[in-house]
Amino acid sequence: MADRYLRFTHTAPGRFLTCRLGLPEPAALRRRTPEHPAFDGDLLHLTVGSPAVGAKELPAVLASTGLTVAAAAGAPTAVVLDATGVASTSALAGVHALLHPVVRSVATSGRIVVLSAPLSATDHHQAAAQQALEGFVRSLGKEIGGGRTVNLVRLTGAARTAESTLRFLLSPRSAYISGQTVEVADAPVTAPEDWSRPLTGRTAVVTGAARGIGAAVAEVLARDGARVVCLDVPQAQADLVRTADRLGATALPLDITSADAADRIAAAVPDGLGALIHNAGVTRDRRLANMPAERWSSVLDVNLAAVLDTTDALLKAGVMTNGGRIVATASIAGIAGNAGQTNYAASKAGIIGLVRSLAPRAAAEHGVTVNAVAPGFIETKMTAAVPLLIREAGRRMNSLAQAGLPQDVAETTSWLAHPASAPVNGQVVRVCGQSLLGA
């Protein structure tokens, strides 16, 4: 459903009224299009103190984004502040000194990325200063406006380990991600031969792919070169086949809760599986006092138990190839909770627990990363059915003052499925425009 309020605010009467009444003024976000897959313009590279991590490689990594790296710029498209060397409260003054003069000049829909170092276990002054950067980034994201985003990347190793992450965050693909911290481990990186089609030669299974977010994920993975298997329940077979045919993908009608689900997935990918995208999910909303057991169990079965069972079986069978990626779908509801969704929130919080526990073991034992996306209010047929006032509140209760699109979740999923994203593991990335819920 179209966001009529956003359109109205970009008319002359709309600008007048929103300004006079102090209403939200959402900016039209610049998202990736085939004609404009990346940003152009200047990238302002700033450094506080003496960088602690991989400083020599950082300029080359930043240049790989396609932006023009500069030490000074009048109206930069993006700003990257290397704060890895900040180790004391006094050093935080340098963060203010460098960003204060330029923050107003960042282009509309521009990007600010702050680089930080791991928190020291032995130097509590360094740990305090580096943790302070998270609060700074979250707050700046809430006040900067203009469709701009602000994120933090915590580097454990050299800057090259963060290339896929920086390319993503400094591009139109990350339009609906702000106020987030992404930890990048010191892990080996395999760069793709073609960064524009990084998933070439990989097979990806997307569950719940018949429509909505799942269909968008399948489309972006196919665009990025993957051979895609679109999976959904047999009841959605007509939509599933249409989606698969449109993308040149394979349709696999299958109830993910069935006992033979993992076996049938394995049979559909005889050459191995490079990416397993757990997107399938259901809602059966009702307050707990009015919720029968069937509504509880059906949601937990699809949203959590099936994810656990199929993941375990495919890993055990060796179907996931070394360098594979597992991306599961959590939700803001699993982080902040939501009235009438105790079942759904429990299932999505369970996904977060799965990711945090399995990620280090899957990487060590199978060479597979495990991450999650946590969407906020996304424009889908499901949210279009939400009552008007609740829908408007959902759209506006984030720093970007608008809902996200299925494309936003899909772009984030593709980044996590990227062959060069091996250092990104055990992360839960909120695709929510920096929702005010659970912030």
Annotated catalytic sites, by residue? 344
Strands 68-70 and 78-82: unpaired
Place of tokens 């710029």: 73
Q: Which residues pair with 296 in a beta bridge?
A: none
Q: What is the DSSP string of 168-187?
A: HHTSGGGTT--S-EEEE-S-
Structure tokens of 197? 């089609």
Q: Which residues contact 100 (CB under 8 A, 6 or more apart)?
A: none
Assess contact for 379 and 391: CB atoms under 8 A: no
Give the dihedral of Cα atoms 87, 92, 98, 99; nearest 10 deg.
Answer: 120
Is residue 111 helix, strand or coil? strand
- Segment holding 150, helix H or strand E: strand 149-155
Question: From CA 152, how far away is CA 269, in angstroms rounded?
Answer: 37
Q: Which residues contact 379 (CB under 8 A, 6 or more apart)?
A: 1, 3, 403, 404, 405, 406
Question: From CA 264, how far away is CA 261, in angstroms rounded?
Answer: 5
Residue type at 386 in one-letter notation: V
- Separation of CA 407 from chain center: 11
Residue type at 175 in one-letter notation: A
- Give the residue from 265, 348, 270 showing the smallest Cα distance to 311: 265
Q: 59: number of CA atoms within 13 Å, CB side? A: 6
* Number of helical (H) and strand (E) elements in the chain, helices listed first: 16, 13
Question: From CA 410, how far away is CA 413, in angstroms rounded?
Answer: 5
Question: From CA 70, how far away is CA 68, in angstroms rounded?
Answer: 6
Structure tokens of 368? 């597979």
What are the C-alpha distances in Å from 256 to residues 278, 303, 309, 342, 346?
A: 10, 10, 10, 22, 19
10 Å CB burial of residue 3 (0-12, 13-18, 19+) is middle
